[in-house]
Amino acid sequence: MKYISTRGQAPALGFEDVMLTGLASDGGLYIPESLPQYSAEEMKKLAELDYPSLAVEIVRPFVSDFLNEAKLQQIVGDTYKVFRHKAVAPLTQLGTNEWVMELFHGPTLAFKDFALQLLGRLLDESLGRRNEKAVILGATSGDTGSAAIEGCRACEHVDIFIMHPHNRVSEVQRRQMTTVLADNVHNIAIEGTFDDCQALVKASFADQSFLGEKRRLVAVNSINWARIMAQVVYYFYAALSLGAPEKEVSFSVPTGNFGDIFAGYIAKKMGLPVKKLIVATNCNDILHRFFADNSYSKEQLAPTLSPSMDIMVSSNFERLLFDVQDRNGEQLKLMMEAFDKTGSISIDNNRWQAVKVLFDSDRSSDEDVVSTIKQVSDDCSGYLLDPHTAIGVKAARTCSVDVATPIVILATAHPVKFPEAIVRAGLREPELPVWLSDLHERPEKYDVLKDDMKGLHGYIQSTLNL
């Protein structure tokens, strides 16, 4: 399988090079040239598999030029055996045809473990073969950082630098990153927003000269195709568990960067009978404004009870726009350049109406979040939602979804990571799992830096003695 850039000017690459490259040389994002297709009969066979076996089947076509069958099975098996629920991604029923898919049973209690536990192992396999060292530079609004660190802390060939916005992530999220004291793990608090951190990452990938010739820069943010690929699996797992291919299934997805829900779009294009994909956002609602009003435009960022979605610009949205623009890279390039200049774009109305056949969207305030957490707790014997998942539940119940169609809300994080929202809902603060019970006593290590690319690069050079 070959991968092409959304902006049409970069060479097509195989999976390994795409994984190591991250952002394409023309500034675009890589996407498969074509997608594997699954018939109804093939999906019936997939429905018989447990999660790791299903992951092998779904991932295989994307990595066939990189891993043989035995190595793929080993890496996938190692990835999901660290999850603490036998089903890996269990479904919990909230109401008639309403289900929560719990994606928080990995090492860092967030959905990003699904992709980053896999990506860390894939990177180490690739770099070991090449006898290379890599520098991972990432930005996090909360959960990506800890999941990336946990996935890469044991990698022999990687040094990882993760930036988070200073004082803008929850304490549990910060401590899950900063209490990992491995020699190859480096945490940085940037005096700014998540978007400032993301901009530093993109600028660093555009000019990697600060690393010299002995190291390569690797992205673990959701711009890396390997992450999208891994997330496709749980859409298949949920839909097949609820009756696909005979039944259509809808999904409500809390999303800021558009990566998680784009995986659902890919699953749909691979043949999975997805009826609706609901984009669930907080008041930082650039995605909702696009799907509601055909307006993809920057606005001032506001801190919320759902900080992992406090994002002004959705990095992965470009991948959908590429498809919407008939995969015309040159046209997409001009559109993104216009967005960079003006901070606002829209698409042709006919194309927008076509997109809305599959996608719907909703926006939640902090008050909506708190009331949804309380309502679900009252209705479902004390079942707790984290604030992001609450946004997904509210969106599922707000948007016009056929009541005969099962709807799955993606539970993106464990509620213990966001105690403020739980307490504001009038509920008792959740306790950390036993294996994390001493998190608040563990020593932390991180540095605070200004939002400055030269200072960041100097910090990395000094840390690595380059």
CA torsion through residues 404, 401, 376, 251, sign: positive
Which one-letter DSSP state was computed for residue 439? Answer: G
Cα–Cα distance for residue pair 166/150, rounded to 1 Å: 20
How far is C-alpha 365 from the geometric centre of its chain's CA atoms? 22
Q: Residue type at 254?
A: P
Identify whether the C-beta of residue 136 lies closer than 8 Å to the C-beta of residue 158. Answer: yes
| Range 35-44 burial, b when 16+ CB lie within 10 A, else e | bbebeeeebe
Q: Is 269 a catalytic residue?
A: no
Contact 281, 361 (CB under 8 A): yes
Nearest to 274 by CA among 241, 236, 231: 236
- Alpha carbon distances (Å) from 314 to 91, 194, 222, 255: 28, 11, 10, 9
| Chain centroid offset of residue 138 CA | 13
- Per the structure block, which two tokens stand in for 440? 């608040």
Catalytic residue among 112, 333, 394, 417: 112
Residue in 260, 258, 309 with CA at minimum distance from that of residue 283: 309
Task: Catalogue the long-range contacts made by 67-70 (C-beta closer than 8 Å, 24 or more residues apart).
Answer: 67/125
Q: What DSSP string describes 138-195?
A: EE-SSHHHHHHHHHHTT-TTEEEEEEEETT-S-HHHHHHHHT---TTEEEEEEES-HH
DSSP H stretches of helix in 270-385: 286-293, 317-324, 329-342, 349-355, 366-379
**At 272, which helix (H) or strand (E)?**
none
Q: What is the DSSP letter of 84?
A: S
d(CA 446, CA 221): 20
Would you please indicate which residues are annotated as catalytic (active-site) residues? 112
